Amino acid sequence: MPASQSRARARDRNNVLNRAEFLSLNQPPKGPEPRSSGRKASGPSAQPSCPGDGARERRQSQQLPEEDCMQLNPSFKGIAFNSLLAIDICMSKRLGVCAGRAASWASARSMVKLIGITGHGIPWIGGTILCLVKSSTLAGQEVLMNLLLALLLDIMTVAGVQKLIKRRGPFETSPSLLDYLTMDIYAFPAGHASRAAMVSKFFLSHLVLAVPLRVLLVLWALCVGLSRVMIGRHHITDVLSGFVIGYFQFRLVELVWMSSNTCQMLISACSPGDSTTGKVENHEP
């Protein structure tokens, strides 16, 4: 036994890891101690810390850098959307040449606003009702009643979407009194553009027009949308979205198209005196 102990001590002396500078390599690694470990150990009834506390703290400390990375490195869709939005704002500001008195085309602002008024809802609804009162044919009344339905649908749809999105225009412009009447206050979507697109498609489908008139009708719709951008009221995407919404409104009206009998019932309900007179006149030889 003494010989074996002397040989063991000799091996320990010859082992490099037993030197003072390498003693830390032979000790097991110590986990990170929680901050409150000192306070827990000082108490008389302190219990040993759970080994899961250190792992939980490490996971919490690793979550913060990941959240920062998500904010600093957005997705490709976010980058593309922000880039398109910046291009839209930049191009809309460049095209807003009649946005204010100091704009480059400030002298033409009145004429450009007049073009936009031709696509306003109040003149179109008033003109449709006037033509409906003056109309004496069943086919004309049918077309005018469905046009009135389409105009009312357009105003309600645009007002609802604008109230939901609440997007401001590229310039600080206050809405006019007519805009407040039709609840066309915000920028997205452009109500004038949706109305112009819907009316143009409606006339092209239900009226027999010559080719020059058809071309002028399409150009009028485009000019109405462009005028809203030139006065700084809408972005380019607002006008394009208005054109798309106007087309789908026309398709919806085509699906729920009111027949001649339904139109006559509505007209009779709105004006019972005129309907009675009309019936008497129809029985005259």
Active site residues: 192, 234
- Cis check: omega of the bond before 189, within 30 degrees of 0: yes
Give the residue from 115, 155, 149 showing the smallest Cα distance to 255: 149
Tokens matching residue 256: 């729920």
Tokens matching residue 115: 């073009």
Residue type at 61 in one-letter notation: S
Longest dimension (CA), the chain: 146
Contact predicate 211/200, CB 8 Å? no
Tokens matching residue 213: 């008139």
Alpha-carbon span 248 to 269, nearest angstrom: 29
Contact predicate 155/183, CB 8 Å? yes
Burial grade of 191 (CB within 10 A; 0-12, 13-18, 19 or more): buried
Burial pattern 91-111, b for ≥16 Cβ within 10 A else e, equals ebeebbbbbeeebeeeeebee
* Cα dist from 283 to 134, 151, 265, whole Å: 20, 34, 18
Say whether 104 sits in a helix, a strand or coil: coil
